[in-house]
Amino acid sequence: PSHSSLTFCSPEPPVFIIHHPAYFLQIKTLKLLVPCVRPEFIATFPCMLFCDVPLMWMERAATSLFGVKRYGVHINGYTVSDSGEIHLWLARRSITKQTYPGLLDNMVAGGLAAGVGIKYTLIKECEEEACIPADITMKAHPVSTVSYTYEDEEGVFPESQFVFDLELPLDFMPCIGDGEVQEFYMLSIEKVKDLLATDDFKPNSAMVVLDFLIRHSFIEPDTEPYYQEFVMGLHQRL
């Protein structure tokens, strides 16, 4: 885009806006098309640290063009039987999703928008995606972060996900809310392990599940030769 098509708006933090009809940014030489049909701003940070004061706000769909780090919230929903056996709730993404349609996902996940807190996002996404009431969601515990960088046809994406564990009542079943999920499954740990070895998972959600299995000692260094590589790969410094 030309210099005149970029605007920094004040007051702080400035908002980075791309002026273009229908909110589309096209770079023909890269054959790149970034639709902004649902504008959502995220905060950007000068040193890519979440604790820094935001440098500006930028539309999420444009971040891959500038290498801006994005944040999200992922929730591992699980149950513990009377005998202590753990089952994990997973979601299958709707086939109408723009990204990774039909793949397995964490029970609930969502991007972190600018000016919105992590706990607020957690409660909002749980209610919208899985119809989990706030009184249950408030019992979720922040347990980890997962960081990584990936590249696809839209650009390069450095991301960090705030990970929560939420133990659900044995008789509770998440229900489809906003249509982003086509089905929920409650699966044994062995079944989850088998699925992780397939291409059926959304990549970053597979990382969150792997982190869950490591933290709950379902994957151990004595039996997994790549244990250290897994741990280091889940927590990359970006």
Of the candidates 19, 50, 66, which is a domain's last residue? 66
Domain assignment of residue 237, yes or no = no
pTM: 0.79
Q: 82: which residues sit within 8 A by CB, 6+ positions away?
A: none
CA-CA distance, 107 to 88, in Å (whole number)? 9
- pLDDT tens digit at each of 238 positions of the chain: 443 344 444 445 554 444 444 344 443 333 344 444 444 555 544 445 666 666 667 777 777 777 778 899 999 999 999 999 999 999 999 999 988 999 999 999 999 887 888 999 999 999 999 999 999 999 999 999 999 998 877 777 889 999 999 999 999 999 999 888 999 999 999 999 999 999 999 999 999 999 999 999 999 999 999 999 999 999 988 7
Say if residue 58 is in the same domain as residue 100. Answer: no
Say if residue 159 is in the same domain as residue 44. Answer: no
Domain range for residue 43? Answer: 3-66
Say if residue 102 is in the same domain as residue 56. Answer: no
Q: In the β-sheet with 15-18, what is the strand arrangement from edge to edge?
A: 6-9, 15-18, 56-59, 41-44
How many domains does the chain fold into?
2
Say if residue 7 is in the same domain as residue 121. Answer: no
Say if residue 128 is in the same domain as residue 198. Answer: yes
Q: 133: which residues sit within 8 A by CB, 6+ positions away?
A: 127
CA-CA distance, 113 to 121, in Å (whole number)? 8
- Any idea what the CATH number is for the domain that residue 173 is in? 3.90.79.10
CA-CA distance, 159 to 66, in Å (whole number)? 13
Strands 56-59, 15-18: pairing kind: parallel
Say if residue 48 is in the same domain as residue 158. Answer: no
